[in-house]
Chains A and B, each alone.
Chain A
Amino acid sequence: MGRNKPVTLLLLALAAAAAFSLAAGPAGLSDPAVILNLRLPRTLAALAVGAALGLAGALFQGVLKNPLSDPYILGTSSGATAAAVFCFLAGVERTSPVFFLAVFAGAFGATFLAYWLARVAGRLSDASLVLAGVAVSAFLSALVMLTLSVARERSFSLFYFVLGGLYAVEPRVLLASALIIACAAAAAMSRWRALDAMSLGEEKAYHLGADPGRERLIFFALACAATSAAVALGGTIGFVGLMTPHIVRLAAGPSARRLLPASAIGGAALLAAADAAGRAFFPPVEIPAGVIMALAGAPFFMWLLWRRRPDASA
Chain B
Amino acid sequence: MPLLKAEGLTFSYGSAPLLAGLSFELRRGDFMCVLGPNGSGKSTLLKLLTGYIKTRGGSVKIKGEAPGTMAAGRLARLAAFVPSETSTPYDFSVAETVLLGRTGRAGFWRGYSAEDRAAAGLAMEETGLTRLAPRSINTLSTGERQLVFIAQALAQEASLLLLDEPTSHLDLKYKADIMALLSRLAGRGMAVAAVLHEPALARLGCNKALLLRGGGEYAFGPAAEMLTVASLARTYGLPPGSPLLGSGFAPG
Report how far A65 CA is from B100 CA in the complex, Å.
16
0 or 1 for each of B85-98: is its CB under 8 Å from A? (1 = yes): 01111111100110
Q: Which of B70-109 contact A (CB under 8 A)?
A: 71-77, 79-81, 83, 86-93, 96-97, 100-101, 103-106, 108-109
Which among B86, B90, B108 has the greatest number of chain A C-beta atoms within 10 A? B90
- B89 contacts A67, CB within 8 Å? yes
A259 smallest CB distance to B (angstroms): 9
Task: Please report the C-alpha to C-alpha distance between residue A207 and residue B111 in the assembled complex, in whole angstroms.
Answer: 20
Given contacts A190-B109, A194-B103, A203-B52, contact A210 B72 (CB under 8 A): yes
Is the CB–CB distance between A196 and B76 below 8 Å?
no
Given contacts A209-B72, A211-B72, contact A193 B108 (CB under 8 A): yes
State whether the Cβ of B130 lies closer than 8 Å to any Cβ in chain A: no
A249 beta carbon closer than 8 Å to chain B: yes
Q: What residues on B are CB-neighbors of A94 within 8 Å? A: none
With A190-B108, A209-B75, A210-B103: A255-B89 Cβ-Cβ less than 8 Å: no
Contacts of A210 in B (CB 8 A): 72, 103
- Tell yes or no: A206 within 8 A of B by CB: yes
Q: How far is the CA of A208 from the CA of B106 in the complex (A)?
A: 11
- Assess whether A199 is in contact with B88, with CB atoms less than 8 Å apart: yes
A211 surroundings in chain B (CB, below 8 A): 71-72
Docked-complex contact A209 and B92, CB < 8 angstroms: no
Contact residues of B with A, CB < 8 Å? Answer: 47, 50, 52, 71-77, 79-81, 83, 86-93, 96-97, 100-101, 103-106, 108-109, 111, 138, 152, 156
A sample of 28 cross-chain residue pairs with beta-carbon separation below 8 angstroms, ordered by A number, consists of: A65-B89, A67-B89, A67-B90, A190-B108, A190-B109, A193-B103, A193-B106, A193-B108, A194-B103, A196-B100, A197-B103, A200-B86, A201-B86, A201-B87, A203-B47, A206-B52, A206-B72, A207-B50, A207-B52, A207-B79, A208-B100, A208-B103, A208-B156, A209-B76, A209-B105, A210-B72, A254-B91, A254-B96
Q: A200-B88, A254-B90, A255-B96 are in contact. List 14 more A-B contacts (CB 8 A).
A: A190-B109, A193-B100, A196-B92, A196-B96, A199-B90, A200-B92, A200-B97, A204-B83, A207-B50, A207-B76, A207-B81, A209-B73, A209-B77, A255-B92
Chain A: residues with CB nearer than 8 A to chain B?
A: 65-67, 190-191, 193-194, 196-197, 199-201, 203-204, 206-211, 249, 253-255, 257, 314
